[in-house]
């Protein structure tokens, strides 16, 4: 037996509670869905799942332990992640400022986030979040049964299972977020305000990451 069934059941319950609880990842999903629609939300969900795969790889080979042991390494990744979120936020707000200028009818406003790779943004946001790395090395090992043969296999299994399990929950957030956003998109200039609020959310997430 490679996985303890009792540990697996406990892991699924704990993962469900953590995935449902509102957090920075859910805020990013909702912000992208509000600003750019369900497709951008789905791309963000895939990006977060890929970020989970990266963190699983780091946890298995032991690199994430460096973040826990070295305050300097933790701070470096933390500042990089916060800077990236601030960049996304400022670019989103800047795009709305440019959109208020007169434009010809054959050149409608397209927000910066729509033209960029939303999936890559979400993945980098997840990878550059040291709290996620600490989550993987603090949470997942609790469900590794030392009586079974391969601890490495168990770490990889649970690490990859979490993003797969959380993905449908993220899709639920996206579905209801898109329903809410559709109401605002029916009003004039609502997209500009949605983009501005999205930019502010990204900057707030960066501040939250630093704090």
Helix, strand and coil in the chain, % to nearest 5 = 80, 0, 20
Rounded CA-CA distance 62/28 in Å is 28
**Number of structural domains found in the chain:** 1
pTM listed for this prediction? 0.70
pLDDT in tens, 155-185: 889 989 999 988 998 998 898 888 877 776 6
pLDDT at 105: 41
Find all residues with CB under 8 Å of 46, minimum gap 6, and list them. Answer: 119, 122, 167
Q: For the chain, what percent of residues have pLDDT higher than 70? A: 80
Q: CA–CA separation, 36 vs 182, rounded Å?
A: 11
Identify the domain containing residue 159 by its residue range. 5-16+23-100+109-210
pLDDT of residue 112: 44
Q: What pLDDT, on the 0 to 100 scale, is given for residue 209?
A: 65
Which pLDDT score is estimated for 2?
81
pLDDT, tens only, 30-55: 888 887 888 889 999 999 999 989 98
Q: What is the pLDDT of residues 87-134, one digit of tens each?
A: 877 877 777 675 554 444 443 343 444 445 889 988 988 888 877 887
Confidence of residue 189 (pLDDT cuts 50, 70, 90): low
The span from the CA of 100 to the CA of 166, in Å, is 38
């Amino acid at each position: 037996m490679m996985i303890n069934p009792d540990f697996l059941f406990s892991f699924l319950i704990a993962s469900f509670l953590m995935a449902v609880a509102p957090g920075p990842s859910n805020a990013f999903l909702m912000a992208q869905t509000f600003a750019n629609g369900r497709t951008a939300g789905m791309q963000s969900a895939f990006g977060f799942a890929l970020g989970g795969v990266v963190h699983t790889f780091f946890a298995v080979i032991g690199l994430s332990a460096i973040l826990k042991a070295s305050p300097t390494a933790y701070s470096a990744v933390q500042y990089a992640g916060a800077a990236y979120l601030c960049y996304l936020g400022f670019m989103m707000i800047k795009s709305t400022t440019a959109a208020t200028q007169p434009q010809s009818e054959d050149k409608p406003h397209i927000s910066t986030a729509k033209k960029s790779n939303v999936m890559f943004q979400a993945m980098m946001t997840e990878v550059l979040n040291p709290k996620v790395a600490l989550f993987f090395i603090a949470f997942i090992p609790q469900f590794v049964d030392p009586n079974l043969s391969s601890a490495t296999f168990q770490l990889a299994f649970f690490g990859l299972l979490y993003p797969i399990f959380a993905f449908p929950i993220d899709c639920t957030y996206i579905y209801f977020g898109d329903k809410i956003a559709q109401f605002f998109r029916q009003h004039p200039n609502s997209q500009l305000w949605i983009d501005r609020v999205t930019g502010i959310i990204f900057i707030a997430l960066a501040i939250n990451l630093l704090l």
